[in-house]
């Protein structure tokens, strides 16, 4: 006996059901991307003591930037926005800025973070140059490129104040892995959901543009 064919109304109902499900899924995805950041910990509960810092420690406003060395937007921030933040907000004494590791894009995100921490412990001033050159040497975020050997070569070729061989050994031994894990936990407590994330006096901004950072600093100064 021939199998009954699905009626046209039933087919239309199936298509409508699938369409509704697709809209629900799309709504969930959009909400995940566009939902406001989690409030995270209160400003007084976050301490960035001991982390790489630019500016006067007594500056009235605290900026913290969470970054991943494999993150293209972080490389853009480092090259195009950070110099203006330094020039107009940090060097003028309005704010101090901390760099915090938040590796999440791959295992070599953590490798790069450890290498930069090794650079910081070896020479605090040279850390900033190393950080800049790692971002400038950034590979594809979907590929593992941040190896101890390559990171040591970046130091050797661009930052003479660093001992590249020592940096490689430090990275391979993962000497500061616990520091990186602590940074990640700090970011989680702050409500970080991606990189770069900028906090001004403990409050995560919705944008990492210079204008957003400047406005937040000015608002913090007036409170």
Domains and CATH numbers, the chain: 61-222 (3.40.30.10)
Residue 6: what pLDDT? 38
Residue pair 96/90 in contact by the 8 Å Cβ criterion: yes
Taking only the tens of pLDDT, the chain with its 223 residues reads 443 443 444 444 444 444 434 443 333 333 333 333 444 455 457 889 999 999 999 999 999 999 999 999 999 999 999 999 999 999 999 999 999 999 999 999 999 999 999 999 999 999 999 999 999 999 999 999 999 999 999 999 999 999 999 999 999 999 999 999 999 999 999 999 999 999 999 999 999 999 999 999 999 999 8
C-alpha dihedral sign at 13, 18, 19, 20: positive
Residue 55 has what DSSP assignment?
S
Residue pair 52/96 in contact by the 8 Å Cβ criterion: no
Residue pair 150/6 in contact by the 8 Å Cβ criterion: no
Residue 223: what pLDDT? 85
Residue pair 95/88 in contact by the 8 Å Cβ criterion: no
Residue 221: what pLDDT? 94
Query: Torsions phi, psi of 203, nearest 5?
Result: -105, 125
Residue 223 has what DSSP assignment?
-
Residue 44: what pLDDT? 55
Instruction: List, as own/partner pairs, every contact residues 6-10 make where C-beta atoms lie below 8 angstroms and the sequence separation is at least 24, other chains included.
Output: none
Find the helix or strand (DSSP H, E) in which 95 lies: strand 95-101
Residue 18: what pLDDT? 42
Count of CB atoms within 10 A of residue 220's CB? 19
Alpha helices in 50-147 (DSSP H): 72-76, 82-85, 107-122, 124-136
Q: What is the distance between the alpha carbons of residues 197 and 87, in angstroms, rounded to a whole number?
A: 20
For 53-72, letters b (16+ CB in 10 Å) and e give: bbbeeebebbbbbbbbbbbe
Residue pair 216/94 in contact by the 8 Å Cβ criterion: no
- Can the peptide bond before residue 102 be classed as cis, meaning omega within 30 degrees of 0? no
pTM over 0.85: no
Q: Which SS3 state, helix, strand or coil, does residue 203 take?
A: strand
């Amino acid at each position: 006996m021939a199998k009954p064919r699905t009626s046209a109304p039933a087919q239309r109902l199936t298509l409508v059901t699938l369409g509704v499900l697709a809209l629900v899924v799309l709504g969930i995805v959009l909400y995940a991307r566009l939902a406001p950041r989690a409030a995270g910990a209160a400003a007084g509960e976050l301490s960035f003591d001991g982390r790489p810092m630019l500016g006067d420690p007594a500056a009235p406003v605290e900026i913290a930037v969470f970054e991943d060395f494999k993150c293209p937007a972080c490389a853009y921030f480092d090259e195009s926005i950070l110099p203006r933040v330094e020039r107009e907000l940090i060097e003028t004494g309005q704010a101090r800025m901390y760099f915090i590791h938040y590796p999440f894009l791959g295992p070599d995100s953590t490798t790069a973070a450890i290498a930069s921490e090794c650079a910081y412990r070896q020479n605090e001033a040279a850390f900033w140059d190393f950080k800049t050159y790692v971002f400038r040497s950034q590979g594809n975020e979907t590929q593992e490129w941040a190896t101890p050997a390559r990171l040591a070569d970046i130091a050797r070729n661009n930052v003479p104040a660093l001992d590249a061989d020592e940096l490689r050994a430090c990275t391979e031994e993962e000497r500061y892995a616990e520091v990186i894990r602590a940074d990640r936990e700090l970011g989680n407590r702050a409500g970080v959901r991606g990189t770069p994330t900028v906090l001004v006096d403990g409050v995560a901004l919705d944008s990492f543009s210079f204008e957003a950072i400047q406005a937040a600093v000015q608002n913090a100064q007036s409170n």
